[in-house]
Amino acid sequence: MNPELSVVGETAGASGPGSHTSARARSRAYATCAWLEANSVKDSVALVSDEAMLLHLGPSNHPERPARLAEILHQLEISGLRAACANVPSRKVTRDELLTAHTEKHVDHVFASASVKKKGKDYGLPFGPDTYVNEQSPDCAALSAGCLLALVDHCMADENIATCGMACVRPPGHHASQEKACGFCLFNNVAVAVRHAQKQYGLQRVAVVDWDVHHGNGTNDIFAEDDSVLFFSLHRYGSTFFPGTGFAEDVGKSSARGFNVNVPLDKGFGDLDVRHIMQYLICPLMEKFEPEAIFVSAGFDAVRGDPLGDCRVTPEGFGWMTRCLYRLARHFCQGRLFLSLEGGYNPDMIAQCTVECVRSMLQEVNDLAGPEMELVPATPCSSHPGTPASMPACLAGAHQLLLLFFEFFAVGNLPGLAFLVVLAG
């Protein structure tokens, strides 16, 4: 991170550090600070970011704006988490690394796109109306993917304490396919990092959990025919909701059938829904798949208060999922859990989610109780006849999906690992 770069004020209008921080966020940060002071947890979780990624800037009303990352970095700072974690130096992804997940044509297109500008504007829209590019965007996209690779390298190195961590990056990546930028995403950061982990460290089975409110269509497509990668996406689905993909029936192709798992949910899903998905779908799948590393496309646009997502997961809910996934990672793959920021458009809320996720990892890694949080009970958001009484309405689609699992993946042992049932309480 380069502390001399002070671009937040100029690039994001009035949104300097702290201007988005709510009273709730401050009290969360101070509680975390107090918890850190009472516990010695130094360097056991890794963080990577770079303020240079704030220079990726488009239309003034665009939701994917620098204030998102600026607020995350601010709350990581005031919560003491930045100082408590191992801060990994950022780096840019190389062209060869990008080519493991993207076509040459696409990589060239992104690097050439910086010069394509709209008349009278500092940015262009060479990939469609949603996905802007300014002069710094190709470098920012190279940093965004490179930061996640740096996280993986740090966590895989024997000499470092941390085996898990988070890359706080932008632009996001999960909508970018092999040959196309899409939905604010230029390069698919997680897909490039999965390939890096496989190539560099010889991993045979890698799991990707995508909890962004939008379907991770780019990642889905990149790994659709690859049975070395279990791709799991839970997302809001509706005919008018972007990107309009991610049906339960989309289970992967040829020998990888069953290794793409899509859980479409209704608008408004919340903590209880994600809790059921974790307990009844993700845990049994992981138990069967036995991953050697788990990546998370950690978008926070399913959080309550997000202007795009319209859902009700709480920051505590994201922290709880992180704890579950860390326990799975510790059980199967020496704690290799790598979170990468995707979407999420309420700066204050996504920063609170980040604080919860990072603190949850510290808590789990060190077997310590955190400042405890209550999960808010979800209210069923719609009515589906035939939904089992114990299952929230949003999960009606997932119930159907469970039947598909038996067909394609032959999963048994519900409801998953006993140690996670304890967490689910």
Residues forming the site for Zn ion (CB under 5 A): 212, 214, 299, 301, 343
Dist CA 10 CA 409 (whole Å): 51
- Residue 214, classed as helix, strand or coil, is coil
Closest CB to Zn ion among residues 283, 302: 302
Residue with the closest Cβ to Zn ion? 343
Burial class (CB in 10 A: 0-12, 13-18, 19+), 205: middle
Q: How far is the CB of 213 from Zn ion (least distance, A)?
A: 5
Q: How far is the CB of 212 from Zn ion (least distance, A)?
A: 4
- Residue 421, classed as helix, strand or coil, is helix
Q: Are strands 337-341 and 164-167 parallel, antiparallel or unpaired?
A: parallel
Give the DSSP letter of residue 379: P
* Residue type (1 letter), 12: A
Dist CA 9 CA 382 (whole Å): 42
* Residues 58, 62, 64: CA angle, nearest 5 degrees: 85
Q: What are the tokens at 177?
A: 């396919």
Closest CB to Zn ion among residues 289, 300: 300
Burial class (CB in 10 A: 0-12, 13-18, 19+), 385: exposed
154 is catalytic: no
Cβ-contact 305, 352 below 8 angstroms? no
Closest CB to Zn ion among residues 223, 300: 300
- Residue 37, classed as helix, strand or coil, is helix
Closest CB to Zn ion among residues 81, 167: 167
Cβ-contact 266, 382 below 8 angstroms? yes
Dist CA 230 CA 209 (whole Å): 8
Q: How far is the CB of 184 from Zn ion (least distance, A)?
A: 8
CA within 13 Å, CB half, 298: 29
Closest CB to Zn ion among residues 130, 212: 212
State the catalytic residue, choosing from 20, 56, 74, 175: 175
| C-alpha dist (Å) from residue 176 to 187, 212, 340 | 6, 14, 14
In 3D space, the residue among 280, 158, 154, 152 whose CA is nearest the CA of residue 208 turns out to be 152
In 3D space, the residue among 67, 63, 69 whose CA is nearest the CA of residue 48 turns out to be 69
Q: How far is the CB of 299 from Zn ion (least distance, A)?
A: 4
Closest CB to Zn ion among residues 67, 197: 67
In 3D space, the residue among 314, 304, 411, 388 whose CA is nearest the CA of residue 355 turns out to be 314
Q: What are the tokens at 176?
A: 């970018």
Dist CA 80 CA 57 (whole Å): 28
If one counts every other C-beta atom within 10 angstroms of the C-beta of residue 89, the result is: 10
Closest CB to Zn ion among residues 25, 182: 182
| C-alpha dist (Å) from residue 187 to 112, 145, 196 | 14, 7, 14
Closest CB to Zn ion among residues 310, 356: 310
What are the catalytic residues? 175
